[in-house]
Amino acid sequence: MRYQNTPVVLWSNWRLKTAITKTFISTNMCGIVGYIGNGNVYDILIKGLHRLEYRGYDSAGIALVGNDGNLKVYKAKGKVSNLEDYCKDKSLEAGVGIAHTRWATHGEPSDCNAHPHYSEDGNLALVHNGTIENYKVLKDALIQHGCKFHSETDTEVLVQLIEYIKVKNNCSLVDAVREALNQVVGAYAIAVIEKDHPDTIVAARQSSPLVIGIGDDETFLASDATPFVEYTKDVVYLKDEEIAVIKKGEPLRILNLDNRESTIDVKTLELSISQLEKGGYPHFMLKEIFEQPITLRDCIRGRIIEGGAKINVNGINDNKDIFLNAKRIVIVACGTSWHAALLGKYLIQDMCRIPVEVEYASEFRYSNPVLDDRDVVIAISQSGETADTLAAAMIAKRMGAFVFGISNSVGSSIPRETDSGTYIHVGPEIGVASTKAFTGQVMVLTLLALGIAQLKGTMPQEKIAEIGEEVLRIPDYVEKVLKLNDEIEHLSLIYTYARNFLYLGRGYSYPVALEGALKLKEISYIHAEGYPAAEMKHGPIALIDAEMPSVIIAPNDHLYEKIVSNVQQVKARGGSIIAIVTEGDTEIKNIADHVLEVPAMPECLTPIITSIPLQLLSYYIAINKGKNVDMPRNLAKSVTVE
Ligand code: G6P
């Protein structure tokens, strides 16, 4: 994401001046995909849209140019499957095409507001992920020049602007796109096709992701590489202010907004098609829950050596002095990543004795933060694209802090924009509700804390080695916990029709309670609140009755006796209790209505284990209620809007 100081845009050729002072540009979500080649354009684009549906599913659309020279645009409100139904009896023959799946910002979800948008003369079609912030001023100017608009979107303004410039200057599509983008304030990843030139796609990006896949005699583009991973592993990540000219039979060209050629840096993808399929599971979410023994192994691999005694996290080793001298660590994140961040605070403070603050990125960025070059800011984001987290990281960088990213998405914006960082290596997470990414983030934070503690000498080496050995066993513990699946499925039937839930925990189990409550809310639409168990008596206890179940995370840690009394307080008010306890527990077992037992392990490692039964509980409750767990209403996986 680019920080813009005082971008003043002069609309000289419109005889119109406007000054727009901006801080950060945020993008909307949405997924775009494009293809040119000899394959079945429609099939490739539709499959690609399905893979990008995690970015939004309010509407979908496709534009195709056939060998007959006709531009065909088909769109439908709702999921990609609705578009497929709509297209069943349509002419789909094409040599080039672009497609879009939308998360609505400007204009309600409707057929009309769906992308692709096309120019009034029907010559151009365009798909867009982003937000054109000065679209009103451009729209007014275009209306004065006789343009008519059919949708409420900012995107239609962009395609009409390109067409207007193309006709007015009698120039090529790429020249018109460049000229138009020089007039636009906002964020975009776009792809444009032209009826009269069915051999070309012009694409560009500013603050929204766009990757180009280069195959044999075929080229792909998309918001991420998932739509084309089975066709090619050679990719080019477009940078901000770059325009790609993709022409059939010719090498890819990339220009910048000043019309200078950029060098083409081809990277090789490390992503396999099996990672993008359900692999026999009914939902991605369940697959991702069950993948956790493998993903945690991948996450730990190489980072603990000498049988547990040596912590080897590259991001720390390369920046030893920074971590040794850090006076404070601030962690910024959103959603589930924020819950991982909160666990990061407990871990780092406990092990490294460095003060840690945890901030919602959306609040941090507008809070006039106080930071300097002895602060380390950790930005956590599964997608690496969350607008608020990215903006928070950029503010911290600008203020002189060392910014460290933790992400799952190779090549995404946060890894690119931060000073250093590390990947969680859990593979693509497709279910909108985060599961394996959460445990991966917590694992990386644990390793980070252990690594800094080893560097600083804030923990005895024997203790580090003892925890290190247990970390290596975590994937086995997770396998064991997953055996609770049938019991949890059965338990879920009892609680499916509860209208509210409380999730309670103390210490390391408090962020787990927050995450458990979020999981339930996200996919089952049941109201759930996570609370520090001891705070319950300052308010939420008033809610407890026979209709309000509590999920209490109570492993055998140093706060065990304290939480036993919280469990008793709930029971005394007639509330029913599901408790997550350590194997061999006797006290809570006698009080709670249901207990789920997890293996014993060091306190700092319990969150990874105790969060897994909560993932399964929310999954089964949502399934019992007939909800779409992979695509819950109103949510999207990658939140690139403020
Ligand atoms: C959305 C997703 C959550 C995710 C959050 C932050 O709300 O639905 O699962 O935790 O964004 O996303 P990030 O990619 O930054 O971790």
Neighbours of 278 (CB within 10 A): 14
106 pLDDT band, cuts 50/70/90, is low
Query: How far, in Å, is the centroid of ligand 1 from the Cα of 337?
Result: 7
- What class is the 483-635 domain? alpha beta
Query: How far, in Å, is the centroid of ligand 1 from the Cα of 632?
Result: 13
30 pLDDT band, cuts 50/70/90, is confident
H helices, E strands: number in the chain: 20, 28
- Contact 428 CB / ligand 1 (< 6 Å): no
pLDDT tens digits, residue range 389-442?
999 999 999 999 999 999 998 878 899 889 999 999 999 999 999 999 999 999
Query: How far, in Å, is the centroid of ligand 1 from the Cα of 335?
Result: 5
* Separation in Å, CA 452 to CA 323, 425, 440: 7, 20, 18
Question: Taking the mean position of all CA atoms in its chain, how far away is CA 49?
Answer: 17
28 pLDDT band, cuts 50/70/90, is low
- Contact 292 CB / ligand 1 (< 6 Å): no
Hey, which of 103, 383, 520, 615 would you mutate to test ligand 1's pocket, going by the most ligand atoms within 8 Å of its Cβ? Answer: 383
* Spatial distance between the Cα atoms of 312 and 304, rounded to a whole number of angstroms: 6
Query: How far, in Å, is the centroid of ligand 1 from the Cα of 430?
Result: 11
Nearest Cα to 205, choosing from 236, 226, 173? 236
490: tokens are 């059965």
pLDDT tens digits, residue range 267-279?
998 888 888 888 8
Q: Is 637 a catalytic residue?
A: yes
Query: How far, in Å, is the centroid of ligand 1 from the Cα of 554?
Result: 26
- Contact 582 CB / ligand 1 (< 6 Å): no
- Contact 615 CB / ligand 1 (< 6 Å): no
Q: Is the pLDDT of residue 552 over 60?
A: yes
CATH topology of domain 14-274: Glutamine Phosphoribosylpyrophosphate, subunit 1, domain 1 (3.60.20)
* Spatial distance between the Cα atoms of 526 and 548, rounded to a whole number of angstroms: 11
CATH topology of domain 278-478: Rossmann fold (3.40.50)
Q: Is the pLDDT of residue 1 over 80?
A: no
The answer to whether the 14-274 and 483-635 domains have the same CATH topology is no
| Amino acid letter, 40 | N
* Spatial distance between the Cα atoms of 357 and 365, rounded to a whole number of angstroms: 14
- Break the chain into its structural domains and give their ranges: 14-274, 278-478, 483-635
Which atom of ligand 1 lies closest to the CA of 384? 14
Q: Looking at 72, 79, 166, 637, which residue is catalytic?
A: 637
- Contact 434 CB / ligand 1 (< 6 Å): yes
Contacts of 353 (CB under 8 A, 6+ apart): 456, 458
Phi-psi category of 482—alpha, beta or left, where left has phi over 0 and alpha has psi -120 to 50? alpha
Q: State the Cα angle at 610 between 607 and 613, rounded to 5°.
A: 145
Is residue 534 a contact partner of residue 566, using CB atoms and an 8 Å limit? yes
- Contact 339 CB / ligand 1 (< 6 Å): no
Mean pLDDT value of segment 100-106: 80
* Spatial distance between the Cα atoms of 239 and 156, rounded to a whole number of angstroms: 23
Q: Looking at 17, 22, 30, 247, which residue is catalytic?
A: 30
